[in-house]
């Protein structure tokens, strides 16, 4: 066999390919391909492993540190405490700490720990785990001289898998030793999801179920998607193509469940809005199935909404493997026991981190990409934060709990409902009492996982949005009853850049925070998927800003000040000049509490009064506010309604929430019987996909905002919205950047 590579065809040229070539190749391959690449030969293994182990996310499993060899009795006593967790053992059966030795697992940390730059641990309970929760045996077998019989367990009988997890999580010394080998780590990560938050259950399209993946703690590290993901794309394309009908492709639009011909002109309505793509659920094409509603159904839906339809709908999802509103006994017990294990894991993780403060003295980033709200208090410890003296970038994204879980003295498990908004108060307390006092933290990202634009499902998408943790929300009505913020907002004197993700604010909350932080140290404010409510204390009518003051004209009286030193770098911004022949946004007052009004009070760039001065609508330049803010970034921002707070006056000024697509109404009615609802939680918000035309013009022209989602924002995101009943993904949402206005220095004579 001829070997084409190397001098004389002798094969692979050892040691002649530069290391940089290997690194460039690795950076452009999926992780699975890099893992296979290591097995080519010894040189490949040596030159790719450092790159492969650059980022490591370790799922917590019972074998994480390796197999434990016990020198004493390996069976141990099975006696358990009926009132406790069921893991107590007699003193005589306790194992001496010195009689245990750790094998292969720890050697992995020893060998590769120094090469790891980004290290994270993940312990998540997902819906697949709950769907497949095993059923316990309720009885134990007994044999006597007269025969065999079954008898209920005298104690709470545990899952062996969960018990092993908790036992491993309790081994603090093993955790501490493993982390002690991460001497080169600069970024730490953590993902801890209890499964007690929002559950989608059967409310998931075929596409969302197929592309369901584990969360990415450090984001994408490879340019190419994994081979598995590429295969899923091919399978999905095949599924979608199988629903083609005649000339219509899978991207053919539909209206009211009726397929349109693939004529591009038919894709738009009179307003230029396109229709849904065909929707696929459980192998059924709803594009052709249609709403399937009787005349009586239409009457009930018009008068009572989905609640009216549920009266006449059979429980099609009654036998679903996971019903979010009604968990089975095995599912509740699985959640209970994994919660015990997670508490033990988080406690060991925090103590091990504090125990290795010398090892982590150079860590500059901590990314808590997902943390169930019930575990927030575990981070309220000074030794945890002192163990990271160089920490400059911190991310905390909270998954709100929707139910509690506990074991009664009788051995039964109960999972009562709880308000998700309780997470806001816990989150605020952590930030106020601990994070705000970490002087090294300069970049902070806070927000929520689940709900809003990120959540899939008819009952999840654009719903269940929580307020930003700027205030103590224990008294929700007090927060929303006044125009002014009743208590001081969260103060972060050391933070220079902050990002709010997937939350809502009242206009007063955003204004107060931006103005206070702008007088402290804040330089960059990022609002990602942030929504505003109506102005608290509203009376249901549009309250406008004050009329223009003296010196402001309905039409320009002065020439445009192009090149004038008094306007600084104004013409570097993207705002467009007003039309002189009509009265437009320069002279039109905006609604108080609107985005246009709020941005005008917090922008570090030109205000509308300054723009009026630039284009000759006023004679004298306005006074500019003093602020340390250099940049305000907005990404997919808009408005939110609080549907469970009927006393919140003025919400109707924002408009109504759009109804579901006709082909999804019947499905939504069937799903409602098994989905989670919290009508008593008045702080849960729902996105309103609408912005008034006058405000749209102001945001676009004065502040350079872009509306809707651009094609390159997130591949497939618009299609996902359509599958969840949203006609146009990104409707009523805008994005843009407000940069600081720089004026020439004033000469003092």
Domain boundaries of the chain, sorted by first residue: 16-52, 55-67+100-134+161-199+328-418
Whether the per-residue pLDDT at 637 is higher than 90: the answer is: yes
Q: What is the DSSP letter of 618?
A: B
**Confidence band for 622, pLDDT divided at 50, 70 and 90:** confident
- Rounded CA gap, 152 and 140, in Å? 6
Q: What is the DSSP letter of 451?
A: S
pLDDT of residue 201: 93
- Report which of residues 36 and 78 the model is more confident about: 36
Residue 7 to residues 4, 19, 42, 43: CA-CA distances in angstroms?
9, 20, 19, 17
| 247-261, 414-428, 653-667: least confidently modelled range | 247-261
pLDDT of residue 556: 59
Length of the chain: 749
| Range among 255-259, 272-276, 301-305, 586-590 with highest mean pLDDT value | 586-590
pLDDT of residue 54: 80
Average pLDDT, the chain: 78
Averaged pLDDT, 640-665: 76
| 174-183, 327-336, 407-416, 555-564: least confidently modelled range | 555-564
pLDDT of residue 708: 87
Token pair of 253 as six digits: 């639009």
Averaged pLDDT, 282-286: 66
pLDDT of residue 404: 96
- Rounded CA gap, 117 and 316, in Å? 49
- Rounded CA gap, 144 and 115, in Å? 60
pLDDT of residue 575: 61
Helix or strand holding residue 57 (H, E): strand 55-59
pLDDT of residue 141: 78
Q: What is the DSSP letter of 190?
A: E
| Range among 102-111, 236-245, 323-332 with highest mean pLDDT value | 323-332
Token pair of 554 as six digits: 């309905």
Q: Are 656 and 689 in contact (CB under 8 A)?
A: no
End-to-end CA distance of the chain: 88
Whether the per-residue pLDDT at 40 is higher than 50: the answer is: yes
Please classify residue 707 by burial: count the beta carbons closer than 10 Å to its beta carbon, then call 0-12 exposed, 13-18 middle and 19+ buried.
Answer: middle
pLDDT of residue 322: 93
What would the pLDDT profile of 73-111 be if each residue is shown by its tens digit?
333 333 344 445 554 443 333 333 333 333 456 777 888
- Report which of residues 343 and 93 the model is more confident about: 343
Which residues does residue 406 pair with via DSSP β-bridges, in sequence order? 414
- Rounded CA gap, 432 and 472, in Å? 10
Q: What is the DSSP letter of 625?
A: P
pLDDT of residue 730: 81
pLDDT of residue 727: 63
What percent of the chain has pLDDT above 70? 72
Residue with tokens 């223009």: 548
**Confidence band for 479, pLDDT divided at 50, 70 and 90:** confident
**Residues in CB range of 321: below 8 A, 6 or more apart:** 131, 132
- Report which of residues 469 and 649 the model is more confident about: 469
Whether the per-residue pLDDT at 360 is higher than 90: the answer is: yes
**Confidence band for 400, pLDDT divided at 50, 70 and 90:** very high
What would the pLDDT profile of 177-199 be if each residue is shown by its tens digit?
999 999 989 999 999 999 999 99
Averaged pLDDT, 443-461: 92
Phi and psi at 298, nearest 5°, equal: -60, -40
| 165-169, 185-189, 417-421, 715-719: least confidently modelled range | 715-719
Token pair of 182 as six digits: 């991460």
Interhelix angle 172-179/104-112, nearest 10 degrees: 30
Longest pairwise C-alpha distance within the chain:
112
- Rounded CA gap, 477 and 540, in Å? 18
Token pair of 707 as six digits: 């509306």
Whether the per-residue pLDDT at 549 is higher than 70: the answer is: no
Whether the per-residue pLDDT at 382 is higher than 80: the answer is: yes
Question: Would you put residue 465 in left (φ > 0), alpha (ψ -120 to 50) or beta?
Answer: beta
DSSP 279-319: -EETTEEHHHH-----HHHHHHHHHHTHHHHHTT---TTTT
Averaged pLDDT, 510-515: 92
**What pTM was estimated for this model as a whole?**
0.84
pLDDT of residue 524: 96
- Rounded CA gap, 205 and 202, in Å? 8
Based on its alpha-carbon atoms, the radius of gyration of the chain, rounded to whole angstroms, reads 30
- Rounded CA gap, 745 and 727, in Å? 51
For the stretch 585-601, what's the b/e string if a residue is b when 16 or more beta carbons lie within 10 angstroms of its beta carbon? bbbbbbbbbbbbbbbbe
pLDDT of residue 518: 84
Averaged pLDDT, 111-126: 89
Whether the per-residue pLDDT at 463 is higher than 90: the answer is: yes
């Amino acid at each position: 066999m001829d070997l084409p590579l190397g001098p004389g065809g002798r094969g692979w040229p050892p040691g002649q390919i530069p290391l940089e070539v290997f690194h460039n190749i690795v950076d452009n391959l999926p992780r699975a391909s890099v893992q296979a690449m290591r097995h080519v030969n010894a040189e490949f293994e040596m030159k790719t492993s450092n790159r492969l182990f650059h980022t490591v996310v370790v799922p917590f499993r019972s074998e994480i540190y390796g197999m434990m060899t016990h020198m004493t009795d390996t069976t141990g006593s099975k006696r358990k405490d009926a009132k406790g967790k069921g893991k107590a053992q007699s003193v005589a059966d306790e194992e001496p700490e010195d009689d245990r030795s750790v094998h292969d697992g720890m050697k992995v940390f020893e060998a590769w720990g120094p090469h790891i730059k980004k290290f994270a641990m993940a312990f998540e309970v997902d819906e697949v785990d709950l769907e497949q929760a095993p059923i316990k045996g309720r009885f134990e077998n007994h044999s006597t001289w007269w025969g065999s019989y079954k008898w209920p367990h005298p104690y709470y009988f545990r899952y062996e898998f969960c018990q092993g997890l908790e036992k491993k999580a309790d081994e603090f010394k093993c955790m501490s030793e493993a982390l002690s080998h991460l001497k080169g780590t600069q970024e730490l990560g953590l993902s801890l999801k209890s499964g007690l938050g929002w559950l989608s259950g059967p409310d998931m399209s075929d596409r969302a179920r197929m592309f369901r993946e584990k969360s990415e703690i450090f984001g994408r590290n490879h340019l190419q998607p994994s081979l598995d993901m590429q295969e899923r794309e091919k399978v999905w394309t095949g599924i979608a193509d199988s629903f083609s009908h005649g000339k219509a492709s899978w991207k053919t639009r539909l209206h009211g469940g009726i397929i349109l011909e693939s004529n591009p002109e038919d894709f738009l309505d009179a307003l230029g809005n396109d229709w849904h793509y065909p929707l696929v659920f459980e192998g059924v094409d709803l594009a052709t199935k249609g709403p399937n509603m009787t005349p009586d159904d239409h009457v009930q839906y018009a008068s009572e909404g989905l609640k009216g339809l549920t009266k006449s709908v059979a429980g099609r999802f009654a036998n679903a493997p996971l019903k979010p509103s009604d968990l089975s006994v095995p599912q509740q017990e699985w959640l209970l026991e994994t919660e015990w294990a997670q508490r033990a894991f988080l406690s060991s993780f925090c103590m091990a981190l504090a125990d290795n403060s010398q090892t982590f003295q150079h860590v500059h980033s901590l990314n808590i990409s997902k943390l169930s709200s019930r575990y927030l208090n575990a981070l309220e410890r000074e030794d945890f934060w002192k163990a990271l003296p160089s920490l400059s970038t911190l991310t905390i994204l909270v998954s709100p709990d929707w139910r509690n879980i506990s074991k009664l003295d009788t051995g039964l498990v109960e999972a009562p409902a709880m308000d998700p908004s309780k997470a806001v108060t816990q989150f605020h307390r952590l930030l106020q009492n601990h994070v705000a006092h970490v002087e090294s933290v300069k970049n902070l990202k806070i927000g929520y996982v689940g709900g809003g634009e990120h959540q899939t499902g008819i009952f999840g998408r654009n719903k269940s949005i929580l307020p930003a943790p700027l205030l103590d929300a224990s008294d929700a009505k007090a927060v929303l009853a006044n125009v002014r913020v009743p208590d001081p907002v969260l103060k972060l004197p050391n933070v220079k850049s902050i990002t709010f993700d997937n939350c809502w604010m009242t206009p007063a909350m955003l204004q107060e925070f931006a103005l206070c932080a702008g007088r402290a140290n804040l330089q960059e404010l990022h609002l990602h998927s942030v929504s505003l409510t109506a102005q608290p204390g509203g009376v249901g009518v549009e309250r406008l800003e004050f009329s223009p003051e003296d010196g402001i004209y309905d039409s320009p009286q002065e020439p445009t000040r192009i090149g004038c030193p008094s306007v600084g770098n104004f013409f570097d911004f993207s705002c467009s000049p007003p039309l002189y022949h009509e009265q437009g946004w320069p002279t039109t007052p905006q609604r108080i509490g609107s985005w246009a009004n709020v941005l005008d009070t917090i922008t570090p760039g030109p205000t509308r009064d300054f723009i009026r001065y630039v284009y000759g609508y006023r004679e004298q330049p306005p006074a500019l506010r003093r602020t340390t803010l250099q940049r305000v970034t907005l990404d997919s921002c808009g408005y939110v309604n609080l549907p469970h707070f009927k006393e919140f006056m003025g919400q109707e000024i924002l408009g109504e929430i759009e109804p579901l697509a006709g082909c999804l109404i019947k499905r939504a009615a069937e799903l409602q019987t098994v989905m989670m609802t919290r009508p008593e939680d008045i702080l849960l918000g729902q996105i309103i996909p609408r912005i008034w035309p006058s405000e749209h013009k102001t945001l676009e022209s004065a502040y350079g905002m872009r509306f809707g989602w651009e094609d390159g924002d997130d591949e497939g995101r618009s299609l996902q919205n359509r599958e969840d009943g949203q006609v146009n993904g990104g409707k009523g949402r805008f994005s843009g950047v407000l940069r600081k206005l720089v004026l020439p220095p004033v000469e003092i004579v």
